[in-house]
Each structure stands twice: as structure tokens, then as C-alpha cells.
Amino acid sequence: MKQFFVALLIGAASAFAFAPVGLWPLMPLAIAGLCELIWRSKSMKQALAIGWAFGFGQFLVALNWLPTSFTYQANMPAWLGWVALALLSLYLAVYPALAAGLAWRFGHIHRFVLMLVLAAAWPITEWLRGTMFTGFPWNPVGVVFADTPMLDWAQFIGTYGLSLIIVFVGGAIWLTARGHKPARNALIGYLALLGVMYLLPTWPVKNTEKSIRVVQPNIGQEDKWRPGFSEEAARRLAVLSMRPGGQRPRLLLWPEAAVTDPLEDELNVDRPYAELERQRAAALVAPPEYLLTGGIAVFSKDGRSISGAANSIFILGPGGREVDRYDKAHLVPYGEYLPMRPLLSAIGLSRLAPGDLDFASGPGPRTFALPGWGKVGFQLCYEIIFSGNVIDRRDRPDFIFNPSNDAWFGRWGPPQHLAQARLRAAEEGIPVIRSTPTGISAVIDAHGQIVKALPWQTAGVIDAQLPAPASPTPFARFGNIIPLLLGFALFLSGIVLGRTRR
């Protein structure tokens, strides 16, 4: 029982390695402590419990922003957010528990084997966490490298490969403390390499000659859906969009659901109003400019009743002409749809976003051609956290637009979201442009470096030249096959070594 609570505390402490605190060395140190606890376990059952406690503590602290979203929903009590966080953490902790159980099963007879198997199993279980039951890959441990030179390695091995490295380093720290000389030498070599990488210059930013303006209106979630506030929101967006400065022509970029009234409505009675909304929004651009904005699309099969809706990104040209539309594919459970609606709605639960109609999902990553601006890929809000699943690989875009509404996510959510967007840019070699209502909006270059950003809860604009894409990276060509193969190869090595040690 004592080891269980120690694992819980170590896991909770490791959460401070993530943004916004960003003390990344805490993560390998916490992994070192986890290795010792797994080694001391008397059975696989105990090792599973240790891994689960570590994961529960980490997720419970790192995802502390989740309950904030419940404070904006009058139909559900705010305390329910903490229940939701605990239940989600109970589930997410299953994956580090699996890694710990495998490490004990194959490595309990030899410390080095335990370290190898844990480093191999961790990224594999993280990948499973990102794919099972619609997936929730928020905060893989490799994301703590986002503010270090190790970010450059994402182009080769991806985020899950970075997770493998950080667990391996944590295991090396543990073995070094146990007097293992090869591990000590490997650790010294890694630290020396990391020190040299810190001294090397960062990748130079390569820009195109295309100008963009990213708008951050600082509209909080408490105001966004307030009756009558849509006019004030439109005024703020217009004032910021037309603020003097920057270069014209430009691409104008607004956040997710910047316009709360539908921008496309198939109901016969509401079609003209949706058209007027598009015209009002697009009045801020002139040929050859475009406005890319988040909005809502409402569907109807007969023109008289609503049959569905989508959380979308609209490409609007001058005069309100709708050039194209992207519908969000990876929807947020409880946020954009209510799972098991007949059962949960009967007991008084509802989705967090206003309205009783669940959003429909789109077809997935697509690339849109913008004459004069190149090709753009869209990832709406938290879709950007899904490593290896953010672009159409048959039609590679020149940049990704990632509008989001991080106003739901409290103080810790926005910087964590930004860190994961940086990893997608580095993995794919494609710039990512983020526009959010309350921050953190940012222009991220093709190597994951932040070119310009607006702080949290600040109204303003980012005027910048659109960064140029890099050549397709190894990760862009092969995706998560690379870290998974590395993980399985290390796993098999650990098993073989373990058998020879017997």
C-alpha cells in the first residue's frame, strides 16, 4: 500500500514537467522512481497497480483544466467536472499500468531488461491510448521535449519516439543510481549531446511572401454564447481585423466558432440569414484575400427540419462567397456529442456546448487549394493532438490552420495544446497557424518553433509572413510506423536479453 501511494505522488509530481510549468527533467526523474517501484513489486498484479497509481496521479494533476469546462454549462453542476476528471484519469491510467506490468513480467529478474521493456512498452501503450475508443492522446510524455532541442528529433521518430527516449533516459538514471556503469556512461553521453544541441543555432525561419493576420478577440466562454453578445463579438472581430498594420493582400484567420450564428443553414427560412452572416464576416476581405473562420453548419434533408449540424471551418471569399468548408472529423465526447444519449440525457446529462443536437463528423483530413496562397490543411481544435493523423498524405498541404476554442480549458489547457501543435509541425515539416479566442494564438514554423504568439487572455492580432513548408520528413513519409517499430524492436531485445540472463 505504501508503494502505491508513493507511485501516486511521483506521478502527480511528474505532471509539472508538462506545460505551463515545463520542468521537463521531472519526467525522467519520475520514471526513474517508477522503475524502482516496479522492481520492488512482488507480483505482476502489484506492478500493474504501481503503474496505474503513477498514471492516475499524473493525469489527475496535468488535466486539472478539464473541470473548468463544466463551469460554463448551467445544465450540469460544476462539481461534476471533478468527477469527470477522476473517472477519465481512472481510465487513462490503464495504459501506463500495462507498460509497468509488461516491464515487471519480462524484467523482474534483471534491472536492465526491466528498463528496456518499460521504454519499449510506454510509447506503444501511448499509441493505444490515442486510438482506442476514439482516442485521447493528450500529453504523451514526449511532449515535455517541446521546449528543448529534442523537438528536432520529432521529424525522425515522432512524438511517441520522444516518449521512448524520455523513458529510456529515466531508466538510465535509475540504473546509474544503482551503480550500473554502462547506464552511467550512456547517460553522460546523452547529457553531453543535449548540451551540444542547446549550443547549436535553431533552424532558420523560411518565410513565403504571403501575409497573414491571425485574430485573437479575447472572448471568454462565459460571454461567447450569452444572448445578445454576438453583435459585440462581431464588432471585436471586425475592429481587430481592420486594425492598421501588416501587409495587404493577406489571409485573415479567425478562431473556432468565431461566428456563433450558423454560416450555412439548409433550413428554407434561415438560408438568407446565414448568407447575410457570411457577407458580414467576409466584408473584411477584398480580392484576392480570403477569410478562414470557424463556424457552424446546419443540415436539413427537407428544408423544414434540422437533420444535423457540423463544427466547421469556412473558406469565405469577398462578398461572402463560400469557397469550401471543412467539417470536424474527430469530435469531443460530451463536448460536441453526448455518448449513449438516450441513457445519459434521461438522467439529466447534456453536452457541454450549447444545444441538444449532436454534431456530425466529417470525412477526416483534407487539403484545400487557395489560389494565390497555396494548399491548406485544416485541424479543428483538439484534432491537432493526434500524431500521424493531421494531414491528407495523398495531397500534402503547405500549412495547417488550427482554429481552436481554448477558452474552455482554464490556465493549463492552452499551453499544453500549443505544445502538442508544435510537435505536429515538427513531425510533418509543415507550419501550423493557431487562432483561438482567448489564446494562445501562434504562428509555428515547419520545425515546431514559435515565430510569433499572443499571450493568454490578450486581445490582438499577429501579422506575419506565412512560413514555408519543409521537405517531407521521415515521419511524414512513414508516420507512427517508425516509433512503433522502434518500440517493438526494443521490446524483443529486452525479451531475448532476459532469456539469456536466466
Q: Report how far apart the first and last C-alpha atoms of the chain are (Å, whole number).
A: 30
Distance of CA 111 to the CA centre of its chain: 34
Rounded CA-CA distance 148/153 in Å is 10
Let me know if 256 is a catalytic residue.
yes
Contacts of 57 (CB under 8 A, 6+ apart): 7, 8, 9, 10, 11, 12, 13, 14, 15
Identify which of 436, 439, 432 has the alpha carbon closest to the alpha carbon of residue 464. 432
Which of 126, 289, 328, 428 is the catalytic position? 328
Which of 35, 126, 210, 256 is the catalytic position? 256
Residue with cell 482516442: 135
- 388: alpha, beta or left? (left if phi > 0; alpha if psi -120 to 50): left
Rounded CA-CA distance 159/145 in Å is 9
Which of 289, 381, 383, 428 is the catalytic position? 381
Query: In terms of C-beta density within 10 A (0-12 exposed, 13-18 middle, 19 or more buried), how is residue 235 classed?
Result: exposed
Collapsing DSSP to helix, strand or coil, 328 comes out as coil
Rounded CA-CA distance 174/115 in Å is 9
Let me know if 42 is a catalytic residue.
no
Rounded CA-CA distance 288/218 in Å is 28
Let me know if 35 is a catalytic residue.
no
Contacts of 334 (CB under 8 A, 6+ apart): 84, 351, 352
Q: How many CB atoms lie within 10 A of CB 87?
A: 10
Q: What is the 3-state secondary structure (H, E, C) of 14-38?
A: HHHHCCCCCCCCHHHHHHHHHHHHH
Helices 2-14, 44-62: axis angle to 10 degrees equals 40
- The grid cell for 144 is 515535455
Contacts of 397 (CB under 8 A, 6+ apart): 367, 368, 374, 375, 376, 377, 391, 430, 469
Catalytic residues: 256, 328, 381
